[in-house]
Amino acid sequence: MAKNRNTEQKIFDAATELFLEKGVDRTSVRDIASKAGINLALMNYYFRSKENLFDAIFTNLVKKNTKDLVKILDSDLELGEKIKQYVSAYIDILLKNPLLVSFFMAILHRSREKITEMEVVSLLYGREKFTQQIVDEGKKGNIRRTDPTHFYVDMISMITFPFAIKPMIMDKNELNDEEFIAFIEQRKEHITEMLLKSIMPC
Amino acid sequence: MAKNRNTEQKIFDAATELFLEKGVDRTSVRDIASKAGINLALMNYYFRSKENLFDAIFTNLVKKNTKDLVKILDSDLELGEKIKQYVSAYIDILLKNPLLVSFFMAILHRSREKITEMEVVSLLYGREKFTQQIVDEGKKGNIRRTDPTHFYVDMISMITFPFAIKPMIMDKNELNDEEFIAFIEQRKEHITEMLLKSIMPC
DNA sequence: GTCTATACGGCGATAGAC
DNA sequence: GTCTATCGCCGTATAGAC
């Protein structure tokens, strides 16, 4: 008998939703089973353990969300335009699912060694062509000579971190959800400008 | 009879270490008792619950580590010098305890509402005088007119986020621990330069 | 104040019946 | 494939000896 893809998918979807919403550790397998409308034991039949299920969900989320970003970094776009598009696309992804960031942070905290073993990290942090482009443009004198590692870290920090501290930003600046989104939308242009200004010659 | 401060402290220290190391949810009270060399029941005698113990530890960590930072932001230093000192002092704190960042991220993910109620957040994200200073300097024309909120978010993002993704940075750039520290030390000057360049007139 | 002993319900995981 | 029943560990709590 073939496994019932439908049941497996129901478990997967319920777990994804709960993990993102409440965090992995605060989600019980009984919660997942209940939300999926199936029995507790079935969750262990399809995925050997909660940790296994978690790995599958994490890998899936990363693959789904980094595809477009990698495409931009690997493209032949002119550097300034590439940065602009990357910042905008990255922020759009996080706006669609603001909990992704906290989720990833939790994973890094959860299993420091494991994370680097997963092939998936290359997707999250792959930027060979982009690096080369920054070095090349520096040599040509089109931009200031710039350390590509620091530049890349700056970029993803300014894009990502505000989502991780969303509650603090909202509280301190007295923003509601709608205003937080507007604030983040402003950051697209702000971050791009910040990055471009740092590499401008003169 | 006065409570034995020594036992309470032993529990507090053991729990602090374990929470930072393994995360709150993955640390059991039996682990804490064992590491502190005391009985399980004592842990409940001094702190009513694990959550209570956690709150005490979290508050303590924030207070201890933000004191110097707040002092710098509230000082009468010239803006450029203030930024330089803040970046450097902040990074030094995180270098001394790199797990602080992941810990704070986990807390934000853990209890979104609770965090903003704690007086402690004001310490983590208090910068009224600094904000005013940026606005004033902008009006005087000493710097470009700059949105202080975006500026502050940029600053703490570039300082903090690299610690949160430390395993990824080390893996991708093939750094050992010592080299990671060197990378972060470089960032003191890099971030300061980045920030100052963004507010320079011209 | 410190300890042993014990109990409760909830958890992740699994053996075995259907 | 799906279920029930059960296991051992967890956080929490308490009673009672020293």
Predicted confidence (pLDDT) per residue in B178-191, tens digit: 999 999 999 999 99
In chain B, ranges of CATH 1.10.10.60 domains: 5-48
- 């669609």: which residue's tokens? A96
Percent of chain B topping pLDDT 70: 94
Judge whether B201 and B144 are in contact, CB under 8 Å. yes
Q: Do B153 and A147 count as a contact with CB atoms less than 8 A apart?
A: no
Judge whether B102 and A108 are in contact, CB under 8 Å. yes
> What are the structure tokens assigned to B148, written together?
């202080």
Q: Do B168 and A23 count as a contact with CB atoms less than 8 A apart?
A: no
pLDDT < 70: residue spans in chain A: 1-3, 112-113, 126
Residue A24: closest C-alpha in chain B = B25
* A/B interface, count of CB pairs below 8 Å: 131
pLDDT at B158: 98
pLDDT at B98: 80
Provide mean pLDDT across the span B41-67: 91
Helix, strand, coil percentages for chain B (3-state, nearest 5): 80, 0, 20
- C1’ D5 / CA A186, Å: 57
- 């060197």: which residue's tokens? B182
Residues of A within 8 A of B168 (CB-CB) are 108, 115-116, 121, 124-125
3-class secondary structure, B189: helix
Strand D-proximal protein residues, Cβ less than 7 Å: A 1-4, 7, 38-42, 45; B 27-31, 40-41, 44-45, 48-51
Burial of A105 (0-12, 13-18, 19+ CB in 10 A): buried
Residues 162-191 in A having a C-beta less than 7 A from any atom of strand C are: none
In chain A, ranges of CATH 1.10.357.10 domains: 58-198
pLDDT at A199: 96
Q: Give Cβ neighbours of residue B162 (< 8 Å, ≥ 6 apart).
A: A153, A157, B169, B184, B187
Instruction: Select the more confidently predicted residue: B1 or A78.
Output: A78
The 8-class DSSP code of residue B37 comes to T
Tell me, rounded to whole angstroms, the distance of Cα B147 from its chain centroid.
23
pLDDT tens-digit series, residues B86-114? 999 999 999 998 888 878 877 776 766 67
Judge whether A167 and B112 are in contact, CB under 8 Å. yes
C-alpha A64/C-alpha B37 separation (Å) is 47
In CATH, what is the architecture of A5-48? Orthogonal Bundle (1.10)
Rg (CA), chain B: 20
pLDDT at B97: 87
pLDDT over 60 at B15, yes or no: yes
CB atoms within 10 A of CB A201: 9
Q: Please report which residue ranges of chain A form alpha helices under DSSP H.
A: 5-22, 29-36, 40-46, 50-73, 79-96, 99-110, 112-117, 120-124, 128-140, 148-164, 166-172, 177-199
pLDDT at A1: 42
Residues of B within 8 A of A165 (CB-CB) are 108, 125, 156
The per-residue pLDDT of chain B, averaged, comes to 90
Provide mean pLDDT across the span B111-139: 81
Tell me, rounded to whole angstroms, the distance of Cα B17 from its chain centroid.
16
Report residue B1's pLDDT band, with 50, 70 and 90 as the boundaries.
Answer: very low
Q: Give Cβ neighbours of residue A183 (< 8 Å, ≥ 6 apart).
A: A169, A173, A175, B149
Provide mean pLDDT across the span B139-154: 97
Residue B24 — φ and ψ, nearest 5°? Answer: -65, -50
Nearest by CB to B109, which of A23, A150, A168? A23
Q: Which amino acid is it at B63? A: K
pLDDT over 60 at B199, yes or no: yes
How far away is chain A from the Cα of B42, in angstroms, using its nearest Cα?
A: 26
In CATH, what is the architecture of B58-198? Orthogonal Bundle (1.10)
> Alpha-carbon dihedral of residues A75, A81, A82, A83, nearest 10 degrees?
180
